[in-house]
């Protein structure tokens, strides 16, 4: 009796496993360069030039809205808790203490590097007032950011 059970378990380990993503959600990310950095307490203000993405996940499907910020937009963010500094290719990361996001952004400005951010608790303004179509990141917490100097 035990031999057939062991055989079934061993055979099942050889079969390909299909993992299906389930659930709904929204994700926020940014990719681009930063300039004009200033810090006040935990808030970091900067000008962001690049692409802001809003991803919506519904079961196995997702859709993405890409907002063109290539003319530069005002952004305010703070370092999330936890916060991970990621390698440029996204294959490695390290949990970082408070204050590291500001260091990463200053190094990115100094070397004119592209930074990728993953955000949560996002507050944004689109088409505010007379300037329809304008976009501003009013506040967000950064959970991940690329750090080209990560070793």
| DSSP letter string, 32-65 | EEEEEEEEETTEEEEEEEEEEEEEEEETTEEEEE
55-107: pLDDT as tens digits: 998 877 889 999 999 999 999 999 999 999 998 877 788 889 999 999 999 99
Structure tokens at 109: 């400005």
CB atoms within 10 A of CB 21: 9
Q: Where are the beta strands (DSSP E) in the chain?
A: 24-40, 43-58, 61-86, 93-95, 115-126, 135-146
Q: List, in order, residues 6 or more apart from 16 with CB less than 8 Å away.
A: none
* Band (149; pLDDT cuts 50, 70, 90): confident
pLDDT digits 0-9 by tens, 12-44: 444 444 445 556 888 999 999 999 999 999 999
* pLDDT at position 129: 61
Task: Output the pTM of the full model.
Answer: 0.78
Quote the pLDDT of residue 23: 65
Does the pLDDT at position 11 exceed 50? no
Nearest CA among 139, 119, 106 for reference residue 34: 106
């Amino acid at each position: 009796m035990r031999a057939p059970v062991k055989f079934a378990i061993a055979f099942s380990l050889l079969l390909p496993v299909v993992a299906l993503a389930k659930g709904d959600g929204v994700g926020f990310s940014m990719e681009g360069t930063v300039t004009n950095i200033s810090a006040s307490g935990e808030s970091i203000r900067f000008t962001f030039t690049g692409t802001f993405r809003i991803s919506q996940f519904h079961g196995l499907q997702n859709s993405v809205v890409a907002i063109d910020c290539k003319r530069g937009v005002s952004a305010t963010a703070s370092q999330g808790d936890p916060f991970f500094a990621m390698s440029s290719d996204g294959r490695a990361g390290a949990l970082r203490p408070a204050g590291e996001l500001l260091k990463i952004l200053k190094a990115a400005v100094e070397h004119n590097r592209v930074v990728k951010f993953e955000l949560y608790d996002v507050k944004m303004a689109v088409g505010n007032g007379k300037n329809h179509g304008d976009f501003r990141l009013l506040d967000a917490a950064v959970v991940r950011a690329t750090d080209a100097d990560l070793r």
